[in-house]
Amino acid sequence: MDEPTAIQCLAALAHEHRLRVFRALVVAGDEGLTPGAMTERLDIAATKLSFHLKELANAGLVTQQREGRNLIYRAVYAHMNGLLAYLTENCCQGAPCAVDGPSCAC
CATH number at residue 71: 1.10.10.10
Of 43, 42, 31, whose CA–CA distance to 70 is shortest? 31
Structural domain count, the chain:
1
For 5: left if phi > 0, alpha if psi spans -120 to 50, otherwise beta; the answer is alpha
**Domain annotation covers residue 25:** yes
**Domain annotation covers residue 105:** no
Report how far residue 80's alpha carbon sits from residue 23's, in angstroms, rounded to the nearest whole number. Answer: 11
What is the model's pLDDT at position 90?
77
**Domain annotation covers residue 103:** no
Q: How far is CA 102 from the centre of its chain?
A: 24
What is the model's pLDDT at position 83?
95
pLDDT by residue for the chain (106 residues), tens only, comes to 999 999 999 999 999 999 999 999 999 999 999 999 999 999 999 999 999 999 999 999 999 999 999 999 999 999 999 999 998 887 777 666 666 655 555 4
Domain coverage including residue 54: 3-94
Strand, coil or helix: 72:
strand
What is the model's pLDDT at position 99?
64
